[in-house]
A and B are shown apart, each in its own frame.
Chain A
Amino acid sequence: MERLTKQILPMIIAIAAAVLTLTGYLTPYQELTVLMVRWAAIVAAFALLLGFLNVLQVHFLRLAGRKQGFGARLNSLALLLAALVSLLVTGAGLLVNLDLLRRLSDWWFGFVLLPLQAGAAALVAFALALAAFRLVRGRRNLWVLPFLASALVVLVGTAPMPEPLAVPLTHLRAWWVETLALPGMRGLLIGVGLGTLVMGVRILIGMDRPHSDV
């Protein structure tokens, strides 16, 4: 029974949904495909809600349990408080058409959520700068030189330079990107596309079951 509910039934649903969606692409009758896509959108919306609730549950258990340390529990507490406040503020602003609630929601978004995420992105820039500084320290071979040269060319070529250097650096950067980086990126995209195709076929024939836990 467990195998039926956790393995066989989800596999049947997934394969049936895939076949029905593909049928709309391969045949003139696309109504079924549209219906399946709309269902998928509804399921995705519920998945987002479930994900939000799951985050709340996980951090609530971490906060209530004794296994985590003080820092982790404090982090969970902050997350729960922020989630609840965001939910209340934005939810109230959306449900009730009051200017005060709308301003409160905008303030919360612009002065809490946005700076936090911008700060996190800035930390990535700092980490990249540090890694660039220590590039040669960790790996000392010839392959470091192309990497170092690419970074320097893109950085210098993107920034506005004085007129004598602007045009040559811009052309150098364009050649570097389109001649050296673009083929590599295309190769990566083709590889990703092939992998997606194979993965879709495997799911379609039931070899892979990412939708079930057994």
Chain B
Amino acid sequence: MISCPKCGADNPEGSRFCRECGATLPQTGLRCPMCGAVNITANVFCDRCGARLTPLSAAPADEHEEGETSPTRPSLRSLSLPTIPLEEGGPSPAAEPDWLSDLRSTMGEEKATTPSTPSPEEAEPTSVPDWLGGLLAPADEQPPPPPPPAPAAESDLPDWLRELRAGAPPPPAAPVPPTPPLEEVEIPDWLRDLQGTGRPAAPAEPAPPSGEAEVRAAPPKPSAPAEEAGVPDWLRELQETGEPTTPAGPSPFVFEGEVPDWLRGPETAAPAAAPTDIPDWLRQIETPSPPVPSAPPPAKEVTVPPWLTEMEAGLARMEAEARERPEPTPPVFTTEEPLGPIEPGEIPSWLLELRPKEEGLPAPPPAARPEREALAPAEIPEWMQALRPTPEAPPATEEPAEATGLLEGLRGTLPASPLAERIPRAVAKGAPVAASAASIARAELLQELLTRPTTPPRKAERPRPQVGWSLQHAFIGLLLLAAVILPMFGISLPDQPAPQAVVGPAAEASQVFDQIEATVGAGTSVLVAFEYDPGEADEMDRVAEPVLHHLLQRGAQVTIVSTRPEGTTLANRLLADLEATGLITTAQRTAQVANLGYWPGQTLGVRDALDSPAATSAALVVVLAGQQGDLQAWVEQMAARSPSRPLLAGISARSEPVARPYLRAGTPLRGMVTGLTGAAAYEARLGSSSGRVVLYLRSLTLTQGVVAALMIVGAVVFLLRGRSR
């Protein structure tokens, strides 16, 4: 029951809140070391995760050999001695030493001769080491402990306990002298629980002449059945005999330097026993030595390995057996090399609790530390003294806690201010080097720059368009628009007849006309290349129109090619226009015109087109080129492949300067129709026109006049304006 600390009401075990007042109750159960759950104190395994709550200590009563349980049997829940892990069912013969085999066989024989009527109390002590029985003895006066928790499994027993249980009744030995009860400070908690069994205190008897390991584990001789829970059978039998034990001298096996003096205690003068069952290897290392003095010098603290502890238990039993056969001069078992001191971490806690604190026992002398030579204070030069920071440290500010990220909730992990700001400023106590005037000036300049307010960079302002500029654009645009549109409404310069000039576009157009008249006849194959795009179609269509009309009029077989994707389409449109205006008939178009389409590759297309059968059979090649590069490609390819075949060209006005050198350089180019002026001259020679060329020429003439006037006006205005400035 858990008593409420607030109202005092009793609550069942395991309650967390008081059922009377609701206050939080103290948790009195066992906390699972694995999951942290609180279990009632009677639990051996955790209710939540099944982990063991108490360490392995003794065999459960129900799994004991006799299969009997004792409600008053004390439980050892807080002790777990180190053991050598053995296989299930006992040690293997290979791993078992000879002396232990002999001991096992001897104990088995004795077990066979021992009456097999063990009482419940006889079965219990087998789970407790005999040296621990001595500790249990003084606890007889305490009331019986609560019933033990759930029994442990057989496999949970320590090996050495299992071996002891297998060896069952020990042989009768000398009576065990009573051991004075331990003081309260020496008894650990678990032993204090054992004392709660209420066993009466047994009279103290002298300790039996046993091994060092049995010094404190010697059980008291007289005891009630309930008091002998931790006493082995063979010891109980000895107690029942009541034979006084006579010290037989020092112990036959004395391990010098192995057992600390606090464990050796007053029993160091125990009589030695004849090692009759000592194994061979032990007998070999025995050396005859004088008895160990009763007051040995302070022994060094040594580490007791598990195997040695187990061996000590076995030797203790053999020593008890040897009491019956006293030896006059027991050998002294000494180690050749003293073991090193025990490190503090090597002593288990339970063993530290058992460490006596009597004043009589000599305490191990503190390790003398070699004195170190004190460091001599360094001499700090004056200039370094000047750089020493002042003791005025900035007030410690509480570091803010991180609000986000992985460090959320942590405080002081990241500095709140840069480390550079935390360095205490040094007080200038006489600077070693005086600043020069230049340095001071530079520092002042830097300070001024740092303190100067920063101004954002100015955006590059786009200059506003001037009113005159906009007016100029509008004026020029309106003039050009008027020059183009007015001729459509009949407003233009007076028409001028085509000059009969011997130079210029008109003369060159006449050359083309004459060449066609001389070369092309009915059925003459002519290759016509349309090499201009829609942007140049307004001008080039007017140039191509009279030439194509003339060819078809002469009855030529026209083959159309183009190295521009739009060329063939423009050719079809032009033929359709000629057909629509009545310059050619539909029969002429279908019978005399063949469109071979697009020839990719520009110059390569020109070459490939010239190599086509239609081109090879052509008596004349006519190129309608909007740009100078197109005419250049055709002239060069024609000059390379068939220089004797005449080439005629219809070009835009802007290509005239580039085309004219080819016309005068003896290339296949025999003539060209240049722009609207050349087209108008050609139409004049041809004698038939759709009227479009004349209309376009009127607009062109007016526009050219406007542009020329603008150039003159602009030159005069800006020259005068600049002079006035």
Task: Give the interface of A toward B (CB within 8 A).
Answer: 34, 37-38, 40-41, 44-45, 48, 106, 109-110, 113-114, 116-118, 120-121, 125-126, 128-130, 132-137, 140, 144, 148, 151-152, 155-163, 166-167, 170-171, 173-174, 177-178, 181-182, 185-186, 189
Contact status B660-A182, CB under 8 Å: yes
Residues of B within 8 A of A121 (CB): 535-536, 538
What is the interface of chain A mostly: helix, strand, loop, or mixed?
Answer: helix
How many pairs of A and B residues are in contact by the CB < 8 Å rule?
163
Q: Flag B664-699 by CB within 8 Å of A: 1 or 0 each.
A: 100000000001010010000000000000000100
Contact status A130-B473, CB under 8 Å: yes
Contact status B505-A136, CB under 8 Å: no
Contact status A120-B535, CB under 8 Å: yes
Give the docked Cα–Cα distance between A116 and B538 (Å): 12
B143 CB to nearest A CB, Å = 87
The 13 sampled A-B contact pairs (Cβ below 8 Å) are A41-B599, A44-B605, A106-B573, A114-B537, A118-B534, A118-B538, A133-B710, A134-B714, A155-B707, A158-B704, A160-B680, A163-B499, A185-B658
Contact status B718-A137, CB under 8 Å: yes
Contact status B504-A173, CB under 8 Å: yes
Give the docked Cα–Cα distance between A189 and B633 (Å): 13
Q: Does B345 contact A (CB under 8 A)?
A: no
Q: Does B608 contact A (CB under 8 A)?
A: yes
Q: Flag B97-110 by CB within 8 Å of A: 1 or 0 each.
A: 00000000000000
Contact among A37, A44, A125, A158 with B602 in the assembled complex (CB-CB below 8 Å): A44
Q: Does B600 contact A (CB under 8 A)?
A: yes
Residues of A within 8 A of B497 (CB): 163
Q: Does B661 contact A (CB under 8 A)?
A: yes
Number of interface residues of B (CB under 8 A): 65
Can you list the 3 inter-chain pairs with the closest CB atoms, starting with the nearest?
A: A117-B535, A133-B714, A174-B503
Since A118-B535, A160-B496 are in contact, a sample of 11 more A-B pairs with Cβ atoms closer than 8 Å, ordered by chain A residue number, is A44-B605, A117-B537, A130-B476, A136-B722, A137-B714, A140-B719, A144-B715, A159-B705, A174-B503, A185-B657, A185-B660
Contact among B573, B601, B657, B701 with A177 in the assembled complex (CB-CB below 8 Å): B657
Residues of A within 8 A of B705 (CB): 155-156, 159
Give the docked Cα–Cα distance between A182 and B697 (Å): 25
Give the docked Cα–Cα distance between A134 and B501 (Å): 34
Contact status A189-B658, CB under 8 Å: yes
Residue of A nearest to B706 (CB): A129
Residues of A within 8 A of B297 (CB): none
Give the docked Cα–Cα distance between A136 and B599 (Å): 46
Known: A114-B534, A133-B713, A182-B661. A158 touches B677 (CB 8 A): yes
B573 CB to nearest A CB, Å = 6
Task: Give the interface of B toward A (CB within 8 A).
Answer: 472-473, 476-477, 480, 494-499, 501, 503-506, 533-538, 565-566, 569, 572-573, 599-602, 604-605, 607-608, 611, 653, 656-658, 660-661, 664, 675, 677, 680, 697, 700-701, 703-708, 710-715, 718-719, 721-722
Contact status A166-B657, CB under 8 Å: no
Give the docked Cα–Cα distance between A159 and B487 (Å): 14
Residue of B nearest to A173 (CB): B504
Residues of A within 8 A of B496 (CB): 160-163, 166
B495 CB to nearest A CB, Å = 8
Contact status B658-A157, CB under 8 Å: no
Contact among B501, B708, B711 with A135 in the assembled complex (CB-CB below 8 Å): B711
A188 CB to nearest B CB, Å = 8
Give the docked Cα–Cα distance between A117 and B536 (Å): 8
Contact status A182-B657, CB under 8 Å: yes
Contact among A129, A160, A161, A171 with B476 in the assembled complex (CB-CB below 8 Å): A129
Contact status B658-A38, CB under 8 Å: no
Contact among A41, A126, A148 with B715 in the assembled complex (CB-CB below 8 Å): A148
Contact status A155-B704, CB under 8 Å: yes
Contact among A48, A133, A156, A171 with B704 in the assembled complex (CB-CB below 8 Å): A156
The interface centre, meaning the residue of B473, B657, B712 with most chain A CB atoms within 10 A of its CB, is B657
Contact status B714-A171, CB under 8 Å: no
Residues of A within 8 A of B533 (CB): 117
Residues of B within 8 A of A128 (CB): 707
Known: A37-B608, A166-B499. A159 touches B711 (CB 8 A): no
Residues of A within 8 A of B722 (CB): 136-137, 140
Give the docked Cα–Cα distance between A136 and B473 (Å): 16
Known: A118-B538, A121-B535. A178 touches B658 (CB 8 A): no
Residues of A within 8 A of B566 (CB): 109, 113
Give the docked Cα–Cα distance between A120 and B537 (Å): 12
A89 CB to nearest B CB, Å = 12
Give the docked Cα–Cα distance between A102 and B417 (Å): 79
Give the docked Cα–Cα distance between A192 and B324 (Å): 131
B652 CB to nearest A CB, Å = 10
Give the docked Cα–Cα distance between A162 and B495 (Å): 8
Give the docked Cα–Cα distance between A133 and B478 (Å): 14
Residues of A within 8 A of B608 (CB): 37-38, 41
Residue of B nearest to A102 (CB): B572
Contact status B704-A132, CB under 8 Å: no
Give the docked Cα–Cα distance between A106 and B566 (Å): 11
Contact status B660-A132, CB under 8 Å: no
Give the docked Cα–Cα distance between A152 and B712 (Å): 9
Give the docked Cα–Cα distance between A186 and B657 (Å): 9
Residues of B within 8 A of A114 (CB): 534, 537
Give the docked Cα–Cα distance between A203 and B222 (Å): 119
Contact among A48, A162, A170 with B504 in the assembled complex (CB-CB below 8 Å): A170
A191 CB to nearest B CB, Å = 13
Contact status A158-B675, CB under 8 Å: yes
B146 CB to nearest A CB, Å = 79
A77 CB to nearest B CB, Å = 22
Contact among B476, B494, B495, B572 with A126 in the assembled complex (CB-CB below 8 Å): B476
Contact status B704-A177, CB under 8 Å: no
Residues of B within 8 A of A40 (CB): 601, 604
A91 CB to nearest B CB, Å = 12
Known: A118-B534, A148-B715, A160-B701. A177 touches B660 (CB 8 A): yes
Known: A158-B677, A182-B657. A132 touches B711 (CB 8 A): yes
Contact among A129, A160, A186, A189 with B480 in the assembled complex (CB-CB below 8 Å): A129
Residues of A within 8 A of B605 (CB): 41, 44
Contact status A126-B600, CB under 8 Å: no
Contact among A118, A129, A167 with B707 in the assembled complex (CB-CB below 8 Å): A129
Contact status A41-B601, CB under 8 Å: yes
Residues of A within 8 A of B494 (CB): 162
Contact status A129-B710, CB under 8 Å: yes
B671 CB to nearest A CB, Å = 15
